[in-house]
Structure 1
Amino acid sequence: MVQDTRQLNREAVLTALFAARPASRKVIAERSGISPATVTRAVEQLLAEGVVEETSEIISESRGRRAVELDIVADRRLAMGVDFGATNTRILVVDLLGRPIARRSVPTPAHEDGQLLAEWLADEARATAGDVWKRIAFVCLGMPGAVGRQRTVSNAPNLPQVESPGFLDAVEEAFGRPMGFDNDANYALLGELHYGAATDSPNAAMLTIGYGLGAGLAIDGHILQGERGLIGEFGQLPIGPLGARLEHMVTGSGIMRRAAEAGVALSEPAALFAPDAPPALLGLRAQFDQALTIVLAAVTVASDPQTIVLGGGIATSLTPALDRYRIALEQSLRVSPAIVTARLGSYSGAVGAAVAALHQVYAALGVHPDVIVRLPGGDAIAEDLPV
């Protein structure tokens, strides 16, 4: 019982410090609701563990006495986020305060089989981390498909080998670190919630539109996840001619396929959205706009988000049309969330995966779940990221 009480006090002090760092013992006592003497004992334990350190002295409110501020030892443990895409893989290492330690973007060898891909991911992760690899406590990997709770992957047409049974276990074995896995759109949304375009919208959604279509939904800052990872898989809805899936109507690969079927010359998907696009493309653009409006409506009625963030290669071409999509939603639903493009650009998924990994590290340290969901924050990750 004594040990349990000490542990609870330690967790309360650590939670208070993460919520308002740096802070004096007095401030921690006020925020945690435990006595100053108990705070001091818990702080001594955290100092001995190397989780907390004493920093600068501050003038206290009473009679000019000095108090020592405490802060988290940011590099005590590190976290890694990996956004594993069919074209590129982005890797980000952060400290406990969410500050970048290392980042890297490398082309994905999508032709390799599952085992070689697992080993390649681990090799690239170690190369990115370099000398700090031994301090990485948790890794989260974003996947281009639906990830179930039983470590199954489905709906990954651009990297079908990852759907092989045991692929995620092979990845974790190759990394030699505890790992978490989720759909890349879920992690992209988590990144935008903490550092990007949805920081003021705890109820938010993310659509990633590139050569595939992904979606993530969040309520009160929590990403919605189902048993089989199918929440947000709106691309599977059969809304096109002869039951064509929605994904084939709005993605880059779908745009190119429909252009070829219509006999329309199209050099790349982005050409469909050019201001001076030829009349021959107007019909294809109208089909795209209708399909995207359906996706936006489905997202809105599914989770009633305050903000929908658009990411991925196609999204960058849609900025001039955002108001038009919002008006279309208002006409059909009478309400519309804000529709914005991702602030973190191509690193949304890696940032979100790093945040998810940090959440696991925080939980292991003993930070309370109610505080974890709001951590980390600020501008640390986003300051120097390429878009």
Structure 2
Amino acid sequence: MNRSAVLTELLRSRPVSRTQIAQSIGVSAATVSRVVDQLTDEGLVHELSAVVSESRGRRPVLLDVVADNTYVVGVDIGAANTRYVVADLVGSVVTSSEVTTPTNLSADGLADWVASEVKQAAGERWPLVRYACVGLPGAVNREQGTVSNAPNLPQVEDPRFLDALHTSFGVPLDVDNDVNYALLGEQRFGIARGQSAAAMLNLGAGLGAALAVDGAILHGRRGLIGEFGHLPVGVSGDRVEHLVTGPGIMRQAADASVDLDGPGDLFADSPARPLAQLRTHFDHALLVVLTALTVSCDPETIILGGGISKSLASSLPRYEDALKENLNSSPRLVLPQLGDMSGAVGAAVSGLHRVYPELGVAVDALATLPRRAE
């Protein structure tokens, strides 16, 4: 118990002195020193320089975690691009990249390609990689180990994809919905840092959402939490995703005989009447999703990610006002601080959340870890 408490406090407050650890966790300085010696022998902790002090006596020495003996990999596979990061034991990204997803590959070919890209990027660090987490653009059933609702990248629904992914990586591996990882990344290192209740809405080629309550991402048994794209809207019962995603916007425009070069044209200033009507339909559908997210977990913040959301920055205050009119209050609507890398960073954080307990970190501390040094 003392070892777990000391290591947890080191990760939470790094760099920190023995005295500060003893005061924080409520044990004697002698006990802390014994545990620190043990952690040092295990190669988990090392000493930094002594703290400059005007007082007499022995100057306190700061301690930190040895970060470069263990690495994790976070991957975010999208229909257009795949992003990945390699992070050390304290969550610092040592390498990252974004590459075009080869959607013409078979299920097992795509899995092999992902693993090859990551291994090449990790280079000599690969033997030290302890865990990998991969985000997918679909609903991940964690009980059955299956993926569904991934129309933009159907290869990931093929059981051979997950089998090949585990084989190709050759290290402990977990998969989850890409937006769940993106929200986790923003909670730990982004715009929702320190918020226990937050949500994320991803608008691009598809629609995905994630919710966090008490610092934990909600999953459910079948991975369907956050699949708000299936909500019917209006008398026609169109799915929300058919109105607010890139392909949906283009289909709506074609049905209305409106020429668009791309989905971004929908958000032009002072649009003509046919385009303005399409924008009204978009706004109504988006407010349905934002309302559902708000009443589902009462988040402090809703983060809007994905290519479509980049066109909505100037409209966020208007959406907040609409939510306030309907619900008497509104969460803050923001764009992701980590940009398109939120999912890959969050996947790496999830990997660390699997490594830390194996090292002895208290499980109930994971909601606040990792934490960058001051």
TM norm. shorter chain > 0.5: yes
Alignment CA distance shift 1:84-1:305 (3 Å) = same
**2-structure distance, mates of 1:37, 1:197:** 39
Out of 64, 81, 84, the residue aligned to residue 91 of structure 1 is: 84
Are the counterparts in 1 of residues 108 and 164 from structure 2 also a CA contact under 8 Å? yes
The equivalent residue for 1:209 is 203
Following superposition, the deviation at residue 62 of structure 1 comes to 6.9
The equivalent residue for 1:271 is 265
1:364-383 deviations in Å (ceiling 9; x for gaps): 21111232211123499xxx
Following superposition, the deviation at residue 59 of structure 1 comes to 5.5
1:200-223 deviations in Å (ceiling 9; x for gaps): 532110000001001000112211
The equivalent residue for 1:319 is 313
Are the counterparts in 2 of residues 240 and 249 from structure 1 also a CA contact under 8 Å? no
The equivalent residue for 1:344 is 338
The CA RMSD over aligned residues, in Å, is 1.7
The equivalent residue for 1:237 is 231
**1-structure distance, mates of 2:310, 2:51:** 47
Out of 91, 99, 108, the residue aligned to residue 106 of structure 1 is: 99
Following superposition, the deviation at residue 315 of structure 1 comes to 0.4
**1-structure distance, mates of 2:328, 2:173:** 42
The equivalent residue for 2:279 is 285
With structure 2 as the length reference, what TM-score do the two structures score? 0.95
With structure 1 as the length reference, what TM-score do the two structures score? 0.92
Are the counterparts in 2 of residues 84 and 144 from structure 1 also a CA contact under 8 Å? yes
The reply to whether residue 154 of structure 1 matches residue 163 of structure 2 is no
**2-structure distance, mates of 1:240, 1:322:** 23
1:41-91 deviations in Å (ceiling 9; x for gaps): 221211111111111123579742123221100111011110110100001
**2-structure distance, mates of 1:136, 1:355:** 13
Are the counterparts in 2 of residues 137 and 178 from structure 1 also a CA contact under 8 Å? yes
**1-structure distance, mates of 2:158, 2:366:** 33
The equivalent residue for 1:384 is none
Following superposition, the deviation at residue 195 of structure 1 comes to 1.6
The reply to whether residue 136 of structure 1 matches residue 136 of structure 2 is no
The equivalent residue for 1:44 is 37
Are the counterparts in 1 of residues 304 and 335 from structure 2 also a CA contact under 8 Å? yes
Are the counterparts in 1 of residues 12 and 371 from structure 2 also a CA contact under 8 Å? no
Q: Which of 32-41 and 95-104 deviates more?
A: 32-41
- One-letter amino acid of the counterpart of residue 250, structure 1: V
The equivalent residue for 2:59 is 66
The equivalent residue for 1:19 is 12
Are the counterparts in 1 of residues 22 and 29 from structure 2 also a CA contact under 8 Å? yes
Out of 253, 257, 264, the residue aligned to residue 251 of structure 2 is: 257
Q: What SS is found at the alignment partner of 2:60?
A: strand
Give the paired residue count: 373
Are the counterparts in 1 of residues 256 and 274 from structure 2 also a CA contact under 8 Å? no
The equivalent residue for 2:359 is 365
Q: Which runs of 5+ in 2 are unaligned?
A: none
**2-structure distance, mates of 1:184, 1:379:** 27
Q: What SS is found at the alignment partner of 1:373?
A: helix
1:308-335 deviations in Å (ceiling 9; x for gaps): 1100000010011111111111111121
The reply to whether residue 299 of structure 1 matches residue 293 of structure 2 is yes
The equivalent residue for 1:80 is 73
- One-letter amino acid of the counterpart of residue 122, structure 1: A
Alignment CA distance shift 1:118-1:57 (3 Å) = same
Q: Which runs of 5+ in 1 are unaligned?
A: 1-7, 381-387
**2-structure distance, mates of 1:178, 1:61:** 49
